[in-house]
């Protein structure tokens, strides 16, 4: 059975299960402990309609230590096993594992938010999250995630991505190319919607005089007061000039930073594999958690 005590002295295994090193796990655990204690105080001890003492019930008899709770939710996000397998690995019923997932996910979200690691979600406040003194170059890109085929025909049609030839959801990622952090994450959209259409709908507010690198999916996206850079598309039936090819190579070397950033986010397999959960807006929450965990790792490894 998986437990923190069983893996804490095996740094390679802990990293594989959580994407965090031992010092990083301990740093996150400190904040997570405060969030968990506050939750218990509010949801149990101060609840006026509570009829039995705290600690009863099937949920409270599993994941007794806070370290095990954090290991459980990080492992779920990182490895994304089937809930039946997750339950077996942590010694509980599948229904109990499902309860823990949806209880601990928002608590991890709050712990990352307290540390300042979550990306901005309000497009009108995005400029406040971008620091021109730290980053003058930013990259924007869309990332699609596969999901199970929706049962509803209308939802199914909206989620079908002709580019990926499967059903997907999509987010826009805005990241600092120097700091390697996610500064803004858009809402989660159906995969059929084009990157440029999402960017226009989001109406992100940028600080003045920054450089924004984008790919050809954002053709025509020109926010006010921002210098945008985009590779030149090859004209139909013609070839690019050597100067244009050289410029495209240079731009690609800079813009590759946003691709590396997205790869860091997708270390959490829950946003890489086919998404199976059906709870409303949970697909949006896990993307925010994956971005927050990426920012958390970058802060502890490169600051």
Q: In terms of domains, do 180 and 49 share one?
A: no
Task: Say what the pLDDT of residue 209 is.
Answer: 85
Q: In terms of domains, do 45 and 144 share one?
A: no
Q: In terms of domains, do 159 and 176 share one?
A: yes
Which range has the top average pLDDT, 22-36, 129-143, 216-230, 231-245?
A: 22-36
Q: In terms of domains, do 99 and 195 share one?
A: no
The answer as to whether 12 is a domain residue is yes
Q: In terms of domains, do 132 and 215 share one?
A: yes
Q: In terms of domains, do 102 and 40 share one?
A: yes
Task: Say what the pLDDT of residue 53 is.
Answer: 58
The answer as to whether 290 is a domain residue is no
Look at residue 55 and tell me whether its pLDDT is greater than 60: no
Number of domains observed in the structure of the chain:
2
What is the pLDDT confidence band of residue 155, given thresholds at 50, 70 and 90? confident
Q: In terms of domains, do 104 and 134 share one?
A: no
Domain hosting 58: range is: 4-114
The answer as to whether 147 is a domain residue is yes
Once rounded to an integer, what is the mean pLDDT over residues 217-241? 92
The answer as to whether 236 is a domain residue is yes
Decide if 180 contacts 257 (C-beta within 8 A).
yes
- pTM, two decimals, is 0.93
Residue 120's DSSP bridge partners are: 184
The answer as to whether 289 is a domain residue is no
Q: In terms of domains, do 38 and 90 share one?
A: yes
The 10s digit of each residue's pLDDT in 18-54 is: 999 999 999 999 999 999 999 998 877 555 665 555 5
The answer as to whether 133 is a domain residue is yes
- Of 130-139, 190-199, 219-228, 263-272, where does mean pLDDT reach its minimum? 130-139
């Amino acid at each position: 059975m998986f437990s923190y005590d069983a893996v804490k002295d095996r740094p390679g295994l802990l990293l594989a299960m959580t994407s965090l090193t031992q010092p990083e796990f301990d740093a996150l655990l400190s904040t997570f402990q405060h969030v968990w204690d506050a939750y218990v105080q509010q949801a149990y001890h101060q609840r006026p309609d509570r009829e039995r003492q705290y600690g009863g019930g099937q949920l409270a008899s599993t994941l007794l230590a806070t370290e095990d709770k954090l290991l459980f939710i990080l492992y779920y996000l990182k490895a994304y096993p089937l809930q039946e397998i997750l339950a077996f690995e942590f010694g509980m019923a599948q229904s109990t594992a499902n309860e823990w997932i949806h209880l601990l996910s928002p608590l991890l979200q709050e712990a990352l938010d307290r540390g300042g690691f979550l990306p901005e979600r309000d497009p009108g406040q995005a400029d406040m999250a971008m620091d021109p003194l730290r980053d003058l170059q930013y990259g924007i890109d869309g990332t699609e995630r596969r999901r199970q085929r929706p049962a509803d025909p209308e939802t199914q049609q909206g989620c079908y991505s002709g580019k990926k030839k499967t059903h997907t959801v999509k987010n826009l990622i805005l990241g600092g190319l120097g700091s390697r952090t996610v500064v803004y994450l858009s809402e989660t959209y159906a995969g059929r919607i084009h990157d440029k259409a999402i960017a226009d709908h989001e109406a992100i507010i940028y600080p003045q005089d920054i450089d924004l690198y984008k790919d050809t999916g954002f053709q025509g996206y020109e926010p006010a007061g921002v210098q945008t850079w985009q590779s030149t598309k090859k004209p139909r039936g013609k070839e690019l000039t050597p100067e244009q090819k050289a410029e495209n190579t240079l731009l690609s070397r800079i813009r590759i930073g946003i691709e590396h950033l997205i790869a860091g986010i997708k270390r959490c397999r829950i946003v890489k594999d086919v998404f199976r959960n059906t709870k409303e807006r949970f697909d949006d929450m896990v993307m925010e958690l994956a971005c927050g965990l990426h920012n958390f790792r970058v802060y502890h490894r490169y600051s």
